[in-house]
């Protein structure tokens, strides 16, 4: 189908929930995508961070093919070997003791909130149920996760949103102390905020948060849906800070774009879940887990977090040259290959100009150009991206 026809029928038959660029992709290879007309694009946004191994990676494609030929799905009323293996792998390489699998990021966060509330409920009764999230946080679009997503535009028209959620200013310990009450059961945050503008948590702040959590028996939940899985120079972003959570959520790059979410927790927390307390039909099914295993085994074998760190440092260095050249380009943000370029102007139109140059990226928080390239991105591809940005920036008049 030609793109015009796809767009026309798309408008006719699918709900109008996304602002989409006028393109449909047909195939991909590494860091490149090819559209329905055969034009090639450099993908520096990688499915919003989901395509950690890029497109059509042999380790992933083969894992899917092999598993699909054997068994795609069985219900969680049976043991699933691939699920057990993935749980073991995640536990052995993280702070956690047990894993629960679901199908998306928001679902993983829902599970984390449920687990945290159940933990407090069993120990203290039903008053201690409040979850504090951070300003600029993004934790998902379900009715409950909207309660911990800061941007009010996502909530408008969907009330009532469940109660028991509030916000404290990110990286401000006084504000957090003020928000905490005896009913606080969990503090939830992205280790590095994604949608909020690619903002890392402050190390000292995090240290103090951890101390408060331990003192008051408040659970610490890290949402690593975007920043986890080797993107920030460590397998999990919390390793950059030397501080472990009680619960962590993963999704996006865990399955290389195949839908899977995970919630990982310490035993003292995980043990409050008993049969029937939580569940999902598809979560942790053989195909999803085999895909994640293929992904994770490749990442571990290649120690891809090291490549992410090196490539991220190189990318940041190149972007810094743009700061020196253009006074309205403010700063490079993020860690590893989770990269933001903060501007003094709105960045939306730059995304469209980059698209015309066949460079894919996006813009978040209004003025932060965001890059979540595949972890396998090559130096030449980074060079090419920065050259395209430079070419676009040259034409922009700012007064």
Ligand X SMILES: *Cc1c(COP(=O)(O)O)cnc(C)c1O
Query: Is 224 part of any known ligand binding site?
Result: yes
Rounded Cα–Cα distance for residues 232 and 337 (Å): 6
Is residue 182 a known part of a binding site?
no
Q: Compute the least distance from the CB of residue 36 to ligand X, in Å.
A: 25
Residue 26 region by backbone torsions, left for phi larger than 0, else alpha for psi between -120 and 50, else beta = alpha
- Smallest separation (angstroms) from ligand X to the CB of 274: 26
User: 243, 189, 246, 249: which is closest to 225 by C-alpha?
Assistant: 249
| Nearer to ligand X among residue 225 and residue 235 (C-beta) | 225
- Asked if residue 374 lies in contact with residue 336, where contact means CB atoms within 8 angstroms, the answer is no
225 is in an annotated binding site: yes
Element (H, E) at 363: strand 362-364
Instruction: Please identify, using beta-carbon distances, which residue of 190 and 389 lies nearer to ligand X.
Output: 190
User: Smaller CB distance to ligand X: residue 32 or 145?
Assistant: 145
Nearer to ligand X, 209 or 272 (CB): 209
Question: Which CB sits closer to ligand X, 188 or 341?
Answer: 188
CB of 203 to ligand X, least distance (A): 19
Strand 165-168 relative to strand 130-134: parallel, antiparallel, unpaired? parallel
Is 226 labeled as ligand-binding?
A: yes
Query: Is 141 marked as binding a ligand?
Result: yes
Give, for 269, the enclosing helix (H) or strand (E).
Answer: helix 267-270
Structure token pair of residue 235: 């397998």
Q: In 358-371, which positions are buried (b, 16+ CB within 10 angstroms) versus exposed (e)?
A: bbbbbbbbebbbbb
Joined tokens for residue 101: 């699998």
Q: How far is the CB of 142 from ligand X (least distance, A)?
A: 7
On whether 223 is known to bind a ligand per the annotation, the reply is: yes
Q: Whole-angstrom Cα distance, residue 47 to residue 373?
A: 9
What residues make contact with ligand X under the rule CB under 6 A? Answer: 104-106, 109, 138-140, 190, 194, 223, 225-226, 251-252
Q: List, as residue ranges, the binding site for N(2)-acetyl-L-ornithine.
A: 141, 280
Q: List, as residue ranges, the binding site.
A: 105-106, 138, 141, 223-226, 280-281
């Amino acid at each position: 189908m030609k793109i015009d026809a796809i767009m026309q029928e798309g408008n006719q038959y699918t709900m109008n929930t996304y602002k989409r660029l006028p393109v449909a992709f047909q195939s991909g290879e590494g860091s490149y995508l090819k559209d329905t007309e055969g034009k090639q694009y450099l993908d520096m946004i990688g499915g919003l961070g989901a395509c950690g191994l890029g497109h059509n990676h042999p380790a992933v494609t083969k894992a899917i093919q092999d598993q699909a030929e054997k068994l795609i799905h069985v219900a969680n009323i049976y043991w699933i070997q691939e699920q057990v293996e993935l749980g073991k792998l995640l536990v052995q390489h993280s702070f956690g003791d047990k894993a629960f699998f679901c199908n998306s990021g928001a679902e993983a966060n829902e599970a984390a909130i449920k687990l945290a509330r159940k933990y407090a409920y069993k120990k203290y009764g039903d008053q201690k149920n409040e979850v504090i999230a951070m300003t600029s946080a993004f934790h998902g679009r379900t009715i409950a996760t909207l309660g911990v997503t800061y941007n009010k535009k996502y909530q408008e028209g969907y009330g009532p949103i469940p109660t028991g959620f509030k916000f404290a200013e990110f990286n401000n310990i006084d504000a957090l102390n003020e928000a905490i009450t005896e009913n606080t059961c969990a503090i939830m945050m992205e280790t590095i905020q994604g949608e909020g503008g690619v903002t890392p948590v402050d190390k000292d702040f995090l240290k103090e948060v951890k101390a408060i959590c331990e003192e008051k028996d408040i659970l610490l939940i890290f949402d690593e849906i975007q920043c986890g899985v080797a993107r920030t120079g460590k397998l999990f972003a919390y390793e950059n800070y030397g501080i472990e959570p009680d619960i962590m959520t993963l999704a996006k790059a865990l399955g290389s774009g195949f839908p899977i979410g995970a919630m990982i927790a310490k035993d003292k927390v995980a043990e409050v879940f008993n049969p029937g307390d939580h569940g999902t039909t598809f979560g942790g099914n053989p195909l999803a887990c085999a895909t994640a295993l293929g992904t994770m085994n490749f990442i571990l074998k290649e120690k891809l977090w090291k490549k992410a760190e090196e490539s991220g440092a190189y990318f940041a260095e190149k972007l810094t040259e743009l700061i020196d050249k253009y006074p309205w380009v403010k700063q490079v943000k993020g860690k590893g290959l989770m990269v933001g370029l903060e501007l003094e102007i709105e960045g939306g139109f730059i995304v469209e100009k980059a698209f015309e140059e066949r460079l894919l990226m996006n813009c978040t928080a209004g003025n932060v150009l965001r890059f979540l390239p595949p972890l396998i991105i090559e130096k030449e591809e980074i060079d090419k991206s920065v050259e395209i940005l430079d070419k676009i920036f040259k034409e922009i008049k700012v007064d």
